[in-house]
Structure 1
Amino acid sequence: MDIILAHRQIDFDALASMVAAQKLYPNSVLVIDGKPNVYVQDFLALSKDQLRYLKSQEVTIDEVSKVILVDTHDLKRAGLLGEKIAQIPDLEVEIYDHHPYSGPMKPGMVIDLVGACATLLVEKLAGFGLPLSSFEATLIAIGIYEDTGSLLFDSTTVRDVRAVAYLLDQGANLGVIAEYLRKPLIEEQKELLQQLLDQGQTEFFDGLPVYLSYAESKEYVGGLALLAHRVGELESADTWFLLVKMDHRVYLVGRSRGRGLPVNRLVQLFGGAGHDRAASATIKDGDLPTILKQLRSAIKSRAVRPHLVRDMMSYPVKTVTPETRLAEVETMLLRYGHTGVPVTDGNSLVGIISRRDVEKAIRHGLRHAPVKGFMTRNVVTVEAEATLDEVQRVMVQNDIGRLPVVEDGDLVGIVSRSDVLRLIHGGAVPIETQLVRERSAAMRQDILDLIAKLPDGERKILEAVRDTAQEEECSVYLVGGFVRDLLLSVPTQDLDFVVEGNGGQFAEALVKKLPEGKITQHVKFGTAQISFPDGSHLDIASTRVEYYSFPGALPQVEESCLREDLFRRDFTINSMAICLNSEHFGELVDYYGGKRDLQQGKICFLHNLSFIEDPTRMLRAIRFAGRYHFQLAKETLEALYTAIDTGVLLKLSVERFTEELLLIYKEENYLFMGQKLMRSGLLRAWFGEDYSWNFNSDNFKDSVNWELTVKWLNSLSRMQATDIEKLLSRLSLNKSLRDETRLFAEVREALAGRTALSELDQLLSKTPQNIITVLAQDERFQQRIRDCLDAEQRIHMTLDGNALLQMGLKQGPEIGKILEQVRAAWLEGRICTPEEEEKIARQWIDSRG
């Protein structure tokens, strides 16, 4: 006989998992051992005709051939029957469980960290295409909803949501589900809840707050998980433990919101199990005071000091003095992208000045006025030893996004909303951390898988960087375009590394592991480059922040932290990093939502002054959008138009604009990018007028494979020669490309006249192939060029200058003229053989004699 078992205190998830398992194992029998919770008892009482099961005492152990164990991986938790079966050697046991398991995975074990055990079985049912009745679908859905708090508990995963969607499609009745989930507490539960609230208190363990409570009942009362949820809501606790003595047992329930202790590790000390946010244990013949004492001792030994402000703040802080002129403050705010700056007298904080106040004062002509007349003196601050909860409270109460951090009256740092959110949620998006952690773990494995697929050379370099980082005891990150393209699975060779420390020193150590590499240091910029014989190279930089002395200027560089280093970059998709240190190898650092924007196909700038600081970013935005078929985010597109209207583009040097423009011509999708440059008004803003650019993709299906020169000349093919000359005056092209552009205009002008076939041949024979390729796209010249090229195929000329000399012609210009005439005769079909060629040449020689 095959039987299905669950843990003793059967809840709806356990019952749902048993019913789902029976669909997978149709010859099996449900066996209930122990006392289900009160709601499950009610459900079983009403469902006797639809739900067949045996009591444990009705099962003969000798007849059991196989056990399907659900919602636990330990047979000893399945009541007395489970304990007896666990002693039978070689009995086949299959397990479905969603609780943490650290032992070896054996055949027949399906264990995964989802919100409800029933989810694992629903996935199996869906995979096999097994239909469910409305009753079965409803019961299984109740199990998932109950164990995930209606899909709102931290442990809920996307898989749980998909499982519920599948059950609804199978006929699950939401009305019935809601009725069971909304059932009020019974009297015994109310009494127990009141005891837990009356006897509970928040205790601090090395600064970590933990809510502890206890209660007692002579009779067993089910629904402790629900009571634990209610206590957590009412007490707003981050971590809480409940001890309830019932029926000669002490039941320990632990819960956490993720900012406190991992409760399963503590509960395991008492023989229990669970997740780091939800766990429980049952202690036979336990004594409440003794267990409570043991629990306090366990918490104290494992408590980790809560995060303090000094752990999350940024420092050193950019400050100004009360005498600083507003014009200088404006420059500083623009340089660092800050919305305000503290004002200090010595080390003491005396005020704060916001960008809004600075701009307002300057509009009134007060650029040279000192800060002290406009700063806010009543500054809300926070102590360096304040906890995360205190910071959150101050920020919310005062609606402040950046708080100066003080210690003994001195300014020691700044803490921002982003710092708090990052610490709490693992990112800038305020959602609960369990799901974020799951996604982060999954993302890390995805990145490791992507790294494993890299060419051997690149993987060995990353391994060398990892080992060097450990030896040099510094943090190293892979940054920029390589991270972006790795996540997009796009081949790339741009390896850029950022070192939190001395980048030059790190590069010196790294090159020793790369014997073919040759190092070049750029001390001024804090960078180094390691070059290899095949032409590839690695760029290594210390973490730095760049600021711009004026719009369009080259950046000035200062040392900074990784977050600021990433903030200096152009777009969110380029501001991600991958940690290469051994312990965190492959972890994604994404402060600004770059991964999200990659998934959504968006190009987003990092701050509102991005295009003002560096106008070349406007061209790069269009280039990246075209390369990856992305869209510019609404705010980014609006900022691009605003920057164009301000005329900031004209502050760029001709060399920088030319460099960015030609990078677009190197892209496969350059025609789309060119159209965007035109429609945005960017080309008009730079060149001063609307030229007849040609970026019409309909006529150039093979343009992807064209080299840069052909793409460039093709885009000018509709312009007048005078316009081309004016356009060249606004660009810094190399001599070769500039000369070829002018020659293109000259040849096109010559072709525009009526030209004989021989003259056309002379013209094209002296014209580079790139120019001919572009001219051949022009409808005005297509047929004539084609005729000339076809005629050229008929030429099998063997005559040369030496042959003419042997025929008696004297050395001189006549040789070249006769050879041209002979070639023209071939082109026009007047001669077709070498014999005819020699005959006509002799005739011309004789006529000249």
Structure 2
Amino acid sequence: MEKVIVLEEGADLDALSCAYGVQLLYPDSKLLRPKQLSKKAGEVFRDFKDFFRIIEELPPEFDLILVDTSNYKEYLEKLKGRVRSVIVYDHHPTKLECCEGKVEQVGSATTLVVEELMSRNVDITAESATLLSFGIYEDTGFLSYEGTTSRDARAIAWLLEKGANLRLIRKYLLDTWSKEQIDTLSKHLHSMESLFLNGKRVLIVVLKSEDYQPDVLNILYELREVKSADALFVIVSAGYKTYVFGRSIKGEFDVESVLERLGGGGHSFASAVKLEGVDAERVKSVLTSLLEGKNPPLRVKDVMTSPPFVLHQDTPVSNALLELSQRNFAGAPVVDDSGKLVGIVYKKNLLKVAKHYPYGRVKDFMVVDFHQLSPEDFIWKAEEILSHYGEKLIPVVENSNLVGVITRLDLLYSIREQTAEIKAHEKVIKLPTHVEETAKQVGTIAQELGFRAYLVGGVVRDILLKKEVWDIDFVIEGDAIKVAQRLAEKHGVDYHPFEEFRTAHIKVNGLKLEFATTRRETYPHPGAYPLVEYAGLKEDLLRRDFTINAMAVCVNPDCFGTLIDYFGGLRDLKDKLIRVLHPLSFVEDPVRILRALRFAGRLGFKLSKSTEKLLINAVSAGLIAKAPKGRLMNELRLALREERIFEILELYKKYGVLEHVLVGIRWSPQLEKKLLSLRDVIAWHRIEFPKEKIDYGWVYLLVLLEESEKGMDFLVDISAPAWVRETYEDIKKNKKELTKKLLSAQKNSEIYLLLKNKPLPFLLILMTEEDIKEKVRVYLEKLRSVKVDLEKFKGLSGRQLGKAIEEEKMKLMDAL
């Protein structure tokens, strides 16, 4: 059986050296070409790649060899059925249940392999000794780090006897740092936070990058601030993954005992864990809670509903509906006579069949293909399932017994609890002059009433982007309606309260102001209108869609102009990224899928890697179809009003969203060509006729619907303006025939007669047809504006005058 060595993503020199040693131990083993290595490991691999036996793809069946990691369960799950046995060489203590190899606590995984070579009396070359020395020297800091053992020193002594080249070792291992690495680190150092725990000083740093740069950590470890601390935890957000590294600086703080709570492993002096789909700020909040001795919900058993409500498989549909409705449950696990879990039934499915099969049995309509969890699973595994598959609930099973269920609401509450420790990044910013005076008045009124007032959301984003703002949103920790009422009285204007939502609208000094009371929102099912409860500022911000829209500016006199950023919105704004606040964001409200693409298109931003993955999962799970049509159509209308509508449509296409919104539309090369042509036509029209105001977004939509048989139904559904519906009807009835006539038209007067009185949107769409584009352009630029000298027609009136003017126009046109 072929043996294959697989390295973890971002593997360091110790892992690479260990992999090479394994190839010396197992002559039939091969290394799967690593996708990503640390900077130093990458340099060594580049220069020594001829020493490795490399394959590009995994064979159908093989023995798996892991080095510098014992995370074999993850591989067994991913490669189910292909891995015959597992061999592990790792220096992080762990329990191996099914593996061969060697796992012992030493300073370097390579040491374990070298010991095997020594015991077998394997003769190695000086080059091999050098390549093995790299890993031991790196992971032990040239035998100086805590955790270094005498075994590491003996391994090095043997390698030196075999001719290890110290000059080459210095060349590759002595640190040289690039400007890019230093810039990356300096950009995030503001996040460094100190905790004082039982006389120990512990540092926490968050580094965010779309691409993981392991070598940045080496710079961090050299900082004076770090060297004087007792322990350091570094949280690295890289795309969809978050890494947490713990290091005991003085050897007196057990970092492993902390990170093992998150599923990590290692030594008491050096430990690490990799998480997927969990935001770095949230991890920091959880880590802070753990360090302070608190118990944040981490496992499924901490948040599941137990005992679960269940339905028997023979329950009649009508009875099951009644039971679910009385409890306001969307679904329930289904069990047989022995209490064994056999399926899940959803209220939505039962409602569809209740009329025709009221006495049918639950087992006939239940879902039998579902995921399940163990009480010991981490809650982010549940989040991954819900965000990827859009399921409403997941059964929790222990020893084949159903012990609980976990729902979206359970997870949203846990996310809220886990983010409780997040602290805001604060800095003072300058508000635009036309906003500043009104904001100060709002802040003063709020303070007099004992409230806190904040500018929030899109207005903060646009102020930071130096955009002009006239629609201003305030949130009030207190009573928004009272603040709006006082401001309206001060200016002698009306205000419009909405008691049900505790909001109010008012116009002051040319600004449209909206006041809202801070609140939290929960969604009963995907896309539903939210249930509203009172909450503080942080929770109000947590309910928002993206980090760049979840910032606030305090306007109370005691903190006026202070930017409050809990979730890294300012950094994402600078990095031009759209990032959701938590992994269930698109599941909670699928309309955010379209909003994410609208903001990305409008601002020229990218989706963060984690947000992109979540969005793709949500689209694949069909969540858009579960959103209320009215809210989807409203979002589409907003997109159609954007100046960069073409860029937004391109993103709709890229992520396969368009087909879910415009049912029956198929993106084709011909459609794309026509949209590109329309973009050029619109750019031309903006320049040539700046006074002709037209909502170009509707013109794009008309092109998208041109080949659809249900286009008019769609336009009625979204309450499109009358001119849009009329233009669509004109296109469907007359475009083909008109195009043929224009092709054969020889004179300008013929073109004029064919196109006069046609609506401008129709004409712009005609210009996307290359064969007639020039003729329509001539009409718009010249023919429609031809004037005649009325002095020639004195004495004529009525029809005679009209006919004479038209005939004269024709002559003038044909003479052009």
Give TM-score, length-normalised by structure 2. 0.47
Q: Which gives a bigger RCO, structure 1 or 2 (Cα 8 Å, sep 6+)? A: 2
Structure whose CA Rg is larger: 1
